[in-house]
Amino acid sequence: MRHMTEQGLALIKRFEGFSAKPYLCPAGWWTIGWGAIRGLDGQPVTAATPPVTEEEAETLLRRDVGVAERAVLRLISVLLRDGQFDALASFAFNLGGGALQRSTLRRRVNREEHKEVPDEFRKWVWGGGRKLPGLIRRREAEAGMYAGIG
C-alpha cells in the first residue's frame, strides 16, 4: 500500500498542531494529538479523554492517515506524484473520504485536469459555518504541494 511521505505528514502536523489534552477545534470537534477525533480506545474524543503523549499521538496520526491514504487509493484512478498523493491524503485526513468522494476536486484529478486541481482545494475553507483562516492557509499549502511548488 502507498503511504504519505514525511513531507506530507509534516504538513498535517504543522496545520493540526499538537495538543496532549483534548480541545475543541474551530469546526467544533473534540480533538487530541495531531487532529485525532477518536482516542486510543477508538471512541470519539471528549473533554474527559485522557491526555496523550507525543508517541501515542503519533500512533493516532498514523492510524488516521492510513484511513485517508486508503480513501485516496480507492477514489483516485490515475497515477499520482508523491506531492499530489500527499496533498489529497491531507485533504482526506482533514475532511474525510466522503468529502473527497463527492468533490469536483476528485473528478478533476481523475480526468487529469491537474492545472485546475489547485483551485478546487481552495474551495474547501469553511468550518462551523464560517471561512477559517487556518483552512485557507492549509488548502493553499495542499494546492502548492499538489502543483509541485510547496
Indicate if 55 belongs to the active site: no
Residues 73 and 110: their CA atoms lie apart, in Å, by 12
Cα end-to-end span (Å), the chain: 24
Residues 47 and 56: their CA atoms lie apart, in Å, by 17
68: cell is 485517508
Question: Choosing from 6, 25, 56, 140, which is the catalytic residue?
Answer: 25
Residues 85 and 66: their CA atoms lie apart, in Å, by 13
Question: Choosing from 6, 16, 54, 120, which is the catalytic residue?
Answer: 16
Indicate if 120 belongs to the active site: no
Catalytic residue numbers?
16, 25
